[in-house]
Amino acid sequence: MLCGRADRRPAARTARGHLGGARRRGCRDQCGLPRRVHRRGGAARLGPGDGPCRLRRKPRLAAGLPDHRRSVDPGRAADRPRSAGGRGGDHRRAGPGDLRGGTRTRTGAAGRPVKASTLSTTQALLTGPGRVELIRRRLEPVRTGQALIRVTQCGLCASEADQWLGRSGRYPVEIGHEVAGVVEEIAPGDEGGPLSVGDHVVAWVPGGGFTEFMVTETRHAIPVRPGRVFPAVAEPLSCCVNAVELAAPRLGADVVIIGTGFMALLIQRLSVLKGARSVIVAGRRPTALARCAEQGATRVVDLRTESLAAAVAADTEAGGADVTYEATGAQDALALAGQVTRTSGTIAIVGYHQGEPRTVDLAHWNERAFRIANAHFRDLPTILGGMRTAIALVDSGQLDPSDLLTHRYPLHEIPAAFRDAVRRPDGFVKAVIEPAPSARA
């Protein structure tokens, strides 16, 4: 789920992979290249302010580097990148030889942790509908209040699957916000703070989590006990924890969940923990409905052949749900929610709605005096609070969502992960990317 995530558009890449933008000192044309690059020999010898910068118009790679500026074609296994070392300052697309399978040691010859200032990482960018590119870039040094994280897991959110399908007009996007990993470095002077090198953590990040390494704020990372918490679920589970807390069902409430995906299953389990009298789940996939029934739903409704309104009227005390969770992000689910919720009941909108604007029968919603809960959260204290509650639930054994992470992929197979997230083959619930860090640059 997209709890707290904001799309981040990476800075433009220019010649030799330098980051563009006004924040770097460069030529007056703001190509982003340091002045020393313009003073070097070669085809482009423009000085600062000498007219439009040809370097920006026609990117060039450093001498001797092959031009591997290919995207990862979802349909071609031959385009899967492998492993290669980068050069200082390179921010380029990864090509053949840029990733190798397997995890290597992250320490130097003296056993010291890797340093961000000496490290390159491979990162996945969504550059358009159905297109992912793997780039190599140099990490910035870790500053006070920051930590270098080796990413071990990053979940693929349903909102990112929508972006893969073209329901977002903003590309490129730094995808990946359900991050878990290990602390590799903290800033000098931050010793004795909340994090230490070697800590296993989950982290809130606005994007860019489909990568081998990343630098994040220490206050956005929460330590977890290795082996006790299945870490990639912390961020989406926090969304569900906050959604249920916002909906505030009473003890013995009648609950309806429209949707059978990962978030719906988490909400179902949380509703049982909150003491619901009945939990009715509606969907269209028989295997997913069977899983819901196995995991505590008092009734499942196949929307292809059954009436949800009739089932809810028969199984609830007030002839309607006290709380209805819409967890699909689809127009028809909003209409259904209005049909099955009792007067003065709560409709919690958990689904992430992208694309065309949605409509509801507002006259009917007004007449029934529904309480509408927009179960999306953007303030950081609420997000981190939900993550801590999620960790406590899993760590105490009250909730074990590990069985819901059904499909795992290395970073270079991320197109396959997107395809499965969209097609949802039998048995699919959630995809997790497990980056295999390449050799230290």
Cβ-proximal residues to 425 (8 Å cutoff; 6+ apart), any chain: none
Based on the domain organization, do 32 and 107 belong to the same domain? Answer: no
The predicted pLDDT at position 191 comes to 84
Based on the domain organization, do 324 and 410 belong to the same domain? Answer: no
Cβ-proximal residues to 147 (8 Å cutoff; 6+ apart), any chain: 183, 184, 185, 186, 187, 190, 195, 201, 215, 216, 217, 218, 221
The predicted pLDDT at position 228 comes to 61
Structural contact between residues 430 and 266, judged by C-beta atoms closer than 8 angstroms: no
Which of the four pLDDT bands, split at 50, 70 and 90, describes residue 330? very high
Query: Could you give the angle at which helices 331-340 and 308-315 cross, rounded to 10 degrees?
Result: 30
Average pLDDT of the chain to the nearest whole number: 79
Q: What is the pLDDT of residues 305-318, one digit of tens each?
A: 999 999 999 999 99
User: How far, in Å, CA of 332 to CA of 430, rounded?
Assistant: 23
* Residue 24 lies in domain: 12-60
User: How far, in Å, CA of 386 to CA of 384, rounded?
Assistant: 5
Based on the domain organization, do 158 and 300 belong to the same domain? Answer: no
The predicted pLDDT at position 225 comes to 87
User: How far, in Å, CA of 439 to CA of 185, rounded?
Assistant: 17
The predicted pLDDT at position 188 comes to 87
Based on the domain organization, do 207 and 270 belong to the same domain? Answer: no
Which of 60, 83, 98 finishes a domain? 60
User: How far, in Å, CA of 274 to CA of 389, rounded?
Assistant: 14
Report yes or no on 395 lying in a domain. no
Based on the domain organization, do 215 and 303 belong to the same domain? Answer: no
Q: CA separation (Å) from 54 to 186, 250, 261? A: 39, 65, 49
Report yes or no on 243 lying in a domain. yes
List the CATH number of the domain containing 121: 3.90.180.10
User: How far, in Å, CA of 265 to CA of 261, rounded?
Assistant: 6
Based on the domain organization, do 88 and 208 belong to the same domain? Answer: yes
List the CATH number of the domain containing 268: 3.40.50.720
Based on the domain organization, do 80 and 226 belong to the same domain? Answer: yes
The predicted pLDDT at position 48 comes to 37
The predicted pLDDT at position 192 comes to 82
The predicted pLDDT at position 351 comes to 95
Q: Which two tokens stand for residue 309?
A: 């309104």
342 vs 192, higher pLDDT: 342
The predicted pLDDT at position 107 comes to 42
Based on the domain organization, do 40 and 79 belong to the same domain? Answer: no
Which range is least confidently modeled, 82-86, 105-109, 216-220, 359-363? 82-86
pTM for the predicted model, two decimal places: 0.73
The predicted pLDDT at position 113 comes to 57
The predicted pLDDT at position 435 comes to 93
Q: What is the pLDDT of residues 198-248, one digit of tens each?
A: 999 999 999 999 999 999 999 999 999 887 656 778 999 999 999 999 999
Report yes or no on 351 lying in a domain. yes
What is the number of structural domains in the chain? 3
Which of the four pLDDT bands, split at 50, 70 and 90, describes residue 89? very low
Q: Which residues pair with 200 in a beta bridge?
A: 182
Report yes or no on 383 lying in a domain. no
4 vs 151, higher pLDDT: 151
Q: Which residue has tokens 């007219």?
A: 51
Q: CA separation (Å) from 181 to 5, 71, 137, 146, 174? A: 18, 26, 19, 14, 18
Q: Which two tokens stand for residue 211?
A: 């990568």
Average pLDDT, integer, range 182-196: 91
- One-letter amino acid at 30 equals Q
Based on the domain organization, do 199 and 120 belong to the same domain? Answer: yes
The predicted pLDDT at position 119 comes to 86
The predicted pLDDT at position 117 comes to 62
Q: What is the pLDDT of residues 251-303, one digit of tens each?
A: 999 999 999 999 999 999 999 999 999 999 999 999 999 999 999 999 999 99
The predicted pLDDT at position 49 comes to 39
Q: What is the pLDDT of residues 349-402, one digit of tens each?
A: 999 998 889 999 999 999 999 999 999 999 999 999 999 999 999 989 899 998
Which of 324, 359, 374 finishes a domain? 374
Based on the domain organization, do 328 and 411 belong to the same domain? Answer: no
Structural contact between residues 321 and 256, judged by C-beta atoms closer than 8 angstroms: yes
Q: Which two tokens stand for residue 24?
A: 């770097």
The predicted pLDDT at position 395 comes to 87
Report yes or no on 187 lying in a domain. yes
User: How far, in Å, CA of 29 to CA of 22, rounded?
Assistant: 10
Q: Which two tokens stand for residue 372?
A: 């509408």
The predicted pLDDT at position 116 comes to 65
Based on the domain organization, do 223 and 240 belong to the same domain? Answer: no
Based on the domain organization, do 324 and 219 belong to the same domain? Answer: no
Q: How far apart are the first and last CA of the chain?
A: 33
Coil vs helix vs strand at 131: strand
CA 140 to chain centre: 22
Report yes or no on 425 lying in a domain. yes
Coil vs helix vs strand at 116: helix
Q: What is the pLDDT of residues 111-158, one digit of tens each?
A: 455 666 678 999 999 999 999 999 999 999 999 999 999 999 999 999
Report yes or no on 379 lying in a domain. no
Q: What is the pLDDT of residues 20-53, one digit of tens each?
A: 443 434 443 344 434 433 333 333 333 333 344 4
Q: Which two tokens stand for residue 85?
A: 């070392």
pLDDT at 86 over 80: no
Q: Other CB atoms closer than 10 Å to residue 252's CB: what's the count?
A: 12
Report yes or no on 18 lying in a domain. yes
